[in-house]
Amino acid sequence: MPNDPAPLAHVVLIGGPSGCGKSRLAEQSGLPLLRLDDFYRSGDDPALPHLPTGEVDWDHPGSWHRDRALAALDELARTGRTEVPIYDIAANGPVGTRTLELGGATRFVAEGVFVAEVAADARERGILADAVCVHRSRWLTMLLRFVRDVREHRKPVPFLIRRGFLLARREPAILARLRDAGFRPVTARGIRGLLS
């Protein structure tokens, strides 16, 4: 945007299917982290998309506030701080807000299931440093996601099993969408090196 202040920092976007290790890689980097999944809609939002079974399709971009996530990404890059929701999966919605600050960092990380939805805008606004997606076996991702979701009591186990197989089937399309959005497939080790 022509009249916007120059960015103080640039973002590294990390994409990949749910459970592939995006959050862990972002946390391990030590860089300021914008969790885009905190911008999910509340469970009672009438705009939520649904699966044919009637359950909410949490893996559909319509289950997420893209505009709010993009505004926070841009504000953090240009001003060094932004307010973000604290989303609680068990509560099915935000339970508060927190202030995220750069603290003088010139790079920060943003990750989430729908990160591809903001890549083009981040590039156009001149705040994108890089866009990478985690490259690993979809079956390993499925296992890691299931273990994480059970450990964190995210949803009932039968739902997690059905969702796990659904996401495994969708994974090639998810990765193709990320590549189309300009994301480079990189191993977890390669991403660690990039962020160090």
Per-residue pLDDT of 160-181, as tens digits, reads 888 888 888 888 888 899 999 9
**pTM above the 0.75 mark?**
yes
In tens, the pLDDT along 35-79 reads 999 999 999 999 999 989 898 888 889 999 999 999 999 999 999
Domain presence at residue 4: no
User: What is the distance in angstroms between the CA of the first residue and the CA of the last residue of the chain?
Assistant: 30
Listed in order, strand segments (DSSP E) in the chain are 10-15, 33-35, 81-88, 93-101, 107-111, 128-134, 184-186
CATH number where 30 lies = 3.40.50.300
For the chain, the domain total comes to: 1
- Residue 112 belongs to a domain: yes
Rounded to whole angstroms, the Cα distance separating 54 from 109 reads 34
